[in-house]
Amino acid sequence: MKFRNLGRSGLSVSRICLGTMNFGPETDEPTSHSIMDSALANGINFFDTANRYGGPNGPGATETILGNWFAQGGGRREKVVLATKLYGEMEPWANNRGVSALNIRRACDASLKRLQTDYIDLYQMHHIDRLTPWEEVWQAMEVLVAQGKILYVGSSNFAGWNLAQAQGAAAPRNFMGLISEQSIYNLVTRDIEREVIPAALHYGIGVLPWSPLHGGLLGGVLKKERDGKRRLEGRAKESLDLIRPQVEAYEEFCELIGEEPGDVALAWLLAQPAVTAPIIGPRTQDHLDSALRALDVELTQTHIEKLDEIFPGYRTAPEDYAW
């Protein structure tokens, strides 16, 4: 396994992050535990979850699955860099959503209980909260750090100027602020190249792409469709209806260089300077094994240029749209 420091921090994480959103809604607890054991055995030390994950099992169900896994011992908790998130409503009552000081305190304590641990390595704001001032956010996070309940703070789904706001408010407090940002980023969806990635590089914030295969669209979907192995839905189906010629060209290119489409999509992200670790969300052991193979794919500059030709990206703003 290859490792990289997360942003400008001294925290060393695997180049693949195990996302757990499917644990519970799509994957039962025993299989989830087996996947986590396999991930750890293969050197993946970075696990990501959220207090809202759980699907029909209810918010918190996925954290509970992780907590039961940690409780098995064997160094599981000690070996894992654990990341979770807060923001979404946990129950229909006031002060149970957002990142107010009150919800930060309550949400953290509840996550610690479900996760059966006494600290969270990376505590992330799942979305920007436009109603809570940064002074309040950072004061509450500082308290959690002082109490030893969290070690680092990250964000998710922030705009570039939100990253600047956050770091601008943290600096006068002599607080480290954000060390990571989770954003949707893949060959199809490259919007963050305009402003989020430049901001992240400037502030030393590691980018953690979610949906690296765009809901399976970049995982060889046309071949699977022809073989009757997969039927797309959601984001991937909507995108395929719009860009089928590009996906066809992409799969032909992958076949030409002798690599699986899903491996190429992950390898492309791993080659981006701002990216620390793509977040994979396996439902099965085979999904995890496929993601691990991407670490051995070496894309040349010619390969990257061809991928940019198939799926054009963006220049840094304002050059991207101003001239």
Active site residues: 53
Enclosing H/E stretch for 189: none
C-alpha of 101 from chain center: 24
- Kindly state the DSSP code that residue 315 receives in the 8-state scheme: P
Using DSSP's 3-state secondary structure scheme, residue 30 falls into: helix
Say how far apart CA 188 and CA 191 lie, in whole Å.
9
Cα dihedral sign, 52-53-59-63: negative
Half-sphere exposure of 234 (CA within 13 A, CB side): 6
Q: Which of 48, 45, 133 is nearest to 83 (CA)?
A: 48
Say how far apart CA 89 and CA 80 lie, in whole Å.
27
Name the percent of the chain in helix, strand, coil, to the closest 5.
Answer: 45, 15, 40
Polymer length in residues for the chain: 323
The pair of structure tokens assigned to 69 is 């896994």
Say how far apart CA 281 and CA 235 lie, in whole Å.
15
The pair of structure tokens assigned to 216 is 């399976």
